[in-house]
Homo-oligomer: A and B are copies of this chain.
């Protein structure tokens, strides 16, 4: 279980809080306390997902590409797109066993239900609302 979702939310919260000032990956890495390259990798992903715009070169940096009201937490979650919510098996179960043969599909179905549940819930919370909790 990795920390990409946390990093993504942290990044976007920082960028929102910065308003129209751009932030460097180095600065954000300092707040998240993680390696700057990891931050740039996630920023690259968030840029492709349309949440962030970047400028290269001296005085370069990152900004939100759209208002925080228009970014839901579910959007962020989907952009980061992790493995199954309840963990995933590394080995395929024994197909010679009646249970082993079918369990993957039922676990998959369970996961699908949960993804819907979670994204529906997170879809009702915007980045702006998340930020507004900060004092």
Which A residues fall within an 8 A CB radius of B? 1-7, 9-10, 13-14, 17, 30-34, 73, 77, 82-94, 97-100, 102-103, 106-107, 109-110, 113-114, 117-118, 121-122, 130, 133-135
Contact, CB under 8 Å: B134 / A99: yes
The number of times this chain is found in the oligomer is 2
Kindly provide the distance from the CB of A123 to the nearest chain B CB, expressed in whole angstroms.
Answer: 12
18 chain-A/chain-B pairs, Cβ below 8 angstroms: A6-B87, A6-B107, A10-B93, A13-B99, A13-B103, A17-B98, A32-B93, A33-B93, A33-B100, A34-B89, A73-B110, A77-B86, A82-B87, A85-B85, A98-B134, A102-B134, A106-B133, A114-B121
Kindly provide the distance from the CB of A56 to the nearest chain B CB, expressed in whole angstroms.
Answer: 25
Kindly provide the distance from the CB of A51 to the nearest chain B CB, expressed in whole angstroms.
Answer: 16
B82, B133, B135: the one contacting A86 at CB < 8 Å is B82
